[in-house]
């Protein structure tokens, strides 16, 4: 049993401490075994200091199929998994609008939480999650995986060392095929926040990490304009408190996953592109549609870096190490909530056509004063 109870509070579950975890594996439940949860569960199953105890999904056959492949006990009930006193940590990979309730339930059971990005659908939900995790004394990390890409880690070192001097402009882009063809909940902007909360939040979190707080947001996008039910696109301009200007693009209208960043500073320019970084490009010849309306349709290329440790593996291994050592997590709930507030400001600006301006304390300035 991982919990130890103080005499003053016998009924309250106590999260596993580094001492508890020093000589044994960390026992995990994965909640949501779809695209991302399945990926994380396979990674956890491959880690030597982890035991995959539970796989939770309301689609029980999905959890059962994954359990047959990698182990763990499948269930459709979070409550059943979280009631297991031997369980130490929960990895949440549910649809975004369900992150809050699952995180709070896990924390109230004394389980440490790794939650996929974005932390929640609204900043208020994010703040509630942070407060409950703090109150319960559990470690809470959010999966802003770009902070674990080696190129961005190195870029941060270069920037922190002042090698580019004062930063003037940043251009960052992320494109993907539309995900609602795989998981329909992505089509509902109220549940998932469209391409801004799914993709652009990666850039927003990374740019906040690299350049500090955002002061002003202005954006155009398609999330509230159903030009095409399965496409979404947003371009946003972010003014940082430092004075730097960020031009950020996110798209669910491309066939290929692609990311890039360009940072222009006083002493030079730094650039990264996922396509140029790839050491292996796989170009399928199966699936070409010669008779597609408007011309030939060619399947997407895959850009791979087999020599680089996968960032999704690295971020969860970091979380496991933090549980075992007590060191702070790289992306805590507060940071993730700040990124979410900027992402929601992008959505607000798209909807209203007006800029959103943040006060120094992170609150939004009244609309009339924004212009
Ligand atoms: N970090 C990244 O690179 C990355 C990539 C993709 C997705 N994500 C995030 O991961 C999360 C999940 O996305 P996904 O693509 O895996 O979605 P998905 O639709 O593929 O999977 C969601 C799973 O949750 C299950 N589920 C739904 N409601 C449930 C409930 N009440 N109880 C238990 N299970 C339930 C579904 O049956 C499904 O298996 C999202 O928040 C998304 O933003 C992150």
Alpha helices, DSSP H, located in the chain: 18-21, 35-45, 60-70, 78-82, 99-108, 123-136, 150-160, 189-192, 194-195, 201-211, 274-277, 311-325, 333-352
Q: Which residue has the tokens 């300035």?
A: 365
Nearest CA to ligand 1 atom 39: 34
- Whole-number mean pLDDT of the chain? 93
Please state the rounded mean pLDDT for residues 289-301.
88
Residue pLDDT, tens place only, 128-170: 999 999 999 999 999 999 999 999 999 999 999 999 999 999 9
Say whether pLDDT at 119 is over 60: yes
Rg (CA), the chain: 21
| 37 C-beta closer than 6 A to ligand 1 | yes
pLDDT at residue number 335: 98
**Beta bridge partner(s), residue 234:** 221, 250
Name all domains of the chain by residue range, CATH numbers in brackets: 14-138 (3.40.50.720), 153-311+328-357 (3.30.360.10)
Say whether pLDDT at 126 is over 50: yes
What's the CA-to-centroid distance between 192 and ligand 1, angstroms?
A: 10
pLDDT at residue number 326: 97
| 33 C-beta closer than 6 A to ligand 1 | yes
> Ligand 1, from 30, 79, 94, 119: best to mutate by most atoms within 8 Å of Cβ?
94
Tell me the CA distances in angstroms from 163 to 203, 213, 261, 263, 278, one per residue in order. Answer: 21, 20, 17, 12, 26
| 96 C-beta closer than 6 A to ligand 1 | yes
> Ligand 1, from 33, 42, 57: best to mutate by most atoms within 8 Å of Cβ?
57
Residue pLDDT, tens place only, 85-107: 999 999 999 999 999 999 999 99
Counting from 1 in the atom list of ligand 1, the atom nearest the Cα of 56 is 33
pLDDT at residue number 4: 42
Q: Which of 91-95, 201-205, 339-343, 365-369 has the lowest mean pLDDT?
A: 365-369
């Amino acid at each position: 049993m991982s919990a130890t109870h103080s005499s003053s509070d016998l009924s309250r579950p106590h999260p596993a401490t580094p001492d508890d975890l020093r000589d044994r594996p960390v026992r995990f439940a994965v909640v949501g075994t779809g695209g991302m949860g399945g990926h994380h569960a396979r990674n956890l199953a491959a880690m030597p200091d982890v035991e995959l105890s539970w796989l939770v999904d309301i689609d029980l056959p999905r959890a059962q199929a994954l359990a047959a492949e990698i182990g763990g006990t499948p269930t459709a009930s979070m409550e059943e998994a979280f009631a297991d006193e031997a369980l130490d940590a929960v990895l949440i990979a549910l649809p975004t609008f369900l992150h809050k309730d699952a995180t709070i339930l896990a924390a109230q059971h004394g389980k440490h939480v790794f939650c996929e990005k974005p932390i929640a659908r609204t900043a208020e939900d994010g703040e509630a999650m942070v407060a409950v995790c703090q109150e319960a004394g559990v470690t809470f990390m959010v999966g802003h995986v770009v902070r674990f890409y080696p190129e961005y880690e190195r870029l941060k070192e270069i920037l922190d060392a002042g090698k580019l001097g004062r930063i003037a402009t940043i251009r960052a882009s992320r494109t993907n095929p539309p995900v609602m063809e795989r998981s329909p909940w992505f089509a509902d902007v109220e549940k998932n926040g469209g391409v801004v909360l799914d993709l652009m939040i990666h850039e927003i979190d990374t740019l906040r990490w690299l350049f500090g707080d955002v002061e002003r947001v202005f954006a155009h996008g398609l999330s509230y304009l159903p030009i095409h039910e399965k496409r979404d696109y947003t371009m946003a301009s972010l003014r940082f408190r430092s004075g730097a200007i960020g031009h950020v693009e996110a798209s669910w209208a491309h066939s290929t996953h692609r990311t890039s960043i360009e940072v222009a500073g006083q002493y030079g320019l730094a650039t990264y592109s996922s396509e140029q970084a790839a050491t292996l490009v796989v170009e399928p010849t199966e699936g070409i549609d010669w008779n597609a309306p408007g011309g030939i349709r060619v399947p997407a290329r895959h850009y791979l870096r087999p020599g680089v440790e996968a960032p999704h593996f690295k971020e969860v291994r970091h979380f496991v190490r933090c549980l075992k050592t007590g060191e702070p997590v790289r992306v805590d709930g507060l940071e993730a909530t700040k990124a979410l507030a900027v992402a929601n400001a992008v959505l607000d600006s798209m909807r209203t056509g007006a800029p959103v301006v943040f006060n120094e304390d992170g609150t939004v300035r009244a609309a009339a004063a924004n212009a």
